[in-house]
């Protein structure tokens, strides 16, 4: 595969998630990885049968090599599967072919898999262009996230980057507005209007947006609260942004 195609690969691990992916005819499967020490048993045999049926390339590895592929030796159960997802893009590629107008939601330090999964589900269902997801500092795209997303992870447009502050700086240099969700902001999300390309940034569940991202932001908005409530769950916030923050263009 080309470098760009490899950027569209998601690697699942664990026997149940891999089996479920093999059973999904809508997914484009690339390669199955198995530990050479696996003992034949029901689920594993079914995984191998489905891989043969769907003509998925299978490779055998030592445990250490497989753990480098799965990146989770404690939970991979000797099985990993590469899935090709057309909705995945690399930030460098998106910046190279930057649309004249777009709206993204970026997540900064979202470590709870359930929250990340629900954020993905809201973005997939909305008119937001894509999720901007850093590899560092956020929950991994694993079975827990897939479950919380109700499977929408496989359909959601996701732009992946290594380092969020660096990537946001690149967008800002190209004229993109970087808007933080900040409970202390005096500007309401529901009154905010922007006719430029825009990225909303949602911060960590307890600490909010990192200082590095704060320094890059061009503006901030808040969701008005009543009855002394200080904040909403980050996944709820993402849903409000996804459906109320998008403007026609």
Write down the domain spans for the chain. Answer: 3-84, 88-244
Report, at the CATH architecture level, how domain 3-84 is classified.
2-Layer Sandwich (3.30)
Q: Distances from the Cα of 176 to the Cαs of 136, 181, 218, in angstroms?
A: 22, 16, 9
Give the helix, strand, coil percentages of the chain, each rounded to 5: 35, 25, 40
Report, at the CATH architecture level, how domain 88-244 is classified.
3-Layer(aba) Sandwich (3.40)
Query: Per the structure block, which two tokens stand in for 100?
Result: 């004249």
Q: How do residues 110-166 score in pLDDT, each as one tens digit? A: 999 999 999 999 999 999 999 999 998 999 998 899 999 999 999 999 999 999 999
Q: SS3 for 200? A: strand
Q: How do residues 56-103 score in pLDDT, each as one tens digit? A: 999 999 999 999 999 888 889 999 999 999 999 999 999 999 999 999
The H-or-E segment that residue 42 falls in is helix 42-53
Q: Say how far apart CA 104 and CA 127 lie, in whole Å.
A: 10
Look up the pTM and report it. Answer: 0.89
């Amino acid at each position: 595969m080309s470098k760009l195609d490899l950027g569209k690969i998601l690697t699942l691990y664990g026997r149940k998630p891999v089996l479920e992916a093999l059973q999904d005819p809508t997914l484009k499967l690339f390669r199955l990885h198995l530990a050479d020490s696996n003992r034949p048993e029901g689920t594993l045999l079914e995984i191998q049968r489905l891989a043969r049926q769907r003509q998925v390339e299978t490779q055998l590895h030592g445990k250490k090599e497989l753990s480098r592929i799965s990146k989770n030796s404690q939970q991979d159960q000797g099985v990993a599967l590469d899935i090709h997802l057309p909705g995945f893009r690399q930030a460098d590629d998106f910046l190279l072919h930057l649309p004249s107008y777009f709206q993204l939601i970026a997540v900064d330090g979202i470590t709870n898999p359930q929250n990340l999964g629900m954020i993905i589900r809201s973005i997939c269902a909305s008119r937001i262009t894509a999720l901007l997801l850093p590899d560092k500092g956020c929950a991994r795209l694993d079975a827990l996230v897939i479950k919380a997303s109700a499977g929408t992870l496989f359909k959601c447009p996701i732009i992946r980057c290594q380092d969020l502050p660096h990537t946001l700086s690149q967008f800002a240099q190209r004229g993109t507005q970087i808007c933080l969700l900040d409970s202390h902001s005096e500007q309401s999300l529901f009154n905010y209007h922007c006719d430029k390309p825009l990225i909303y940034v949602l911060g960590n569940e307890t600490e909010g947006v990192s200082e590095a991202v704060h320094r890059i932001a061009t503006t901030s908005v808040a969701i008005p609260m009543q009855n002394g409530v200080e904040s909403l769950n980050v996944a709820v916030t993402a849903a409000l942004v996804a459906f109320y923050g998008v403007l026609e263009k």
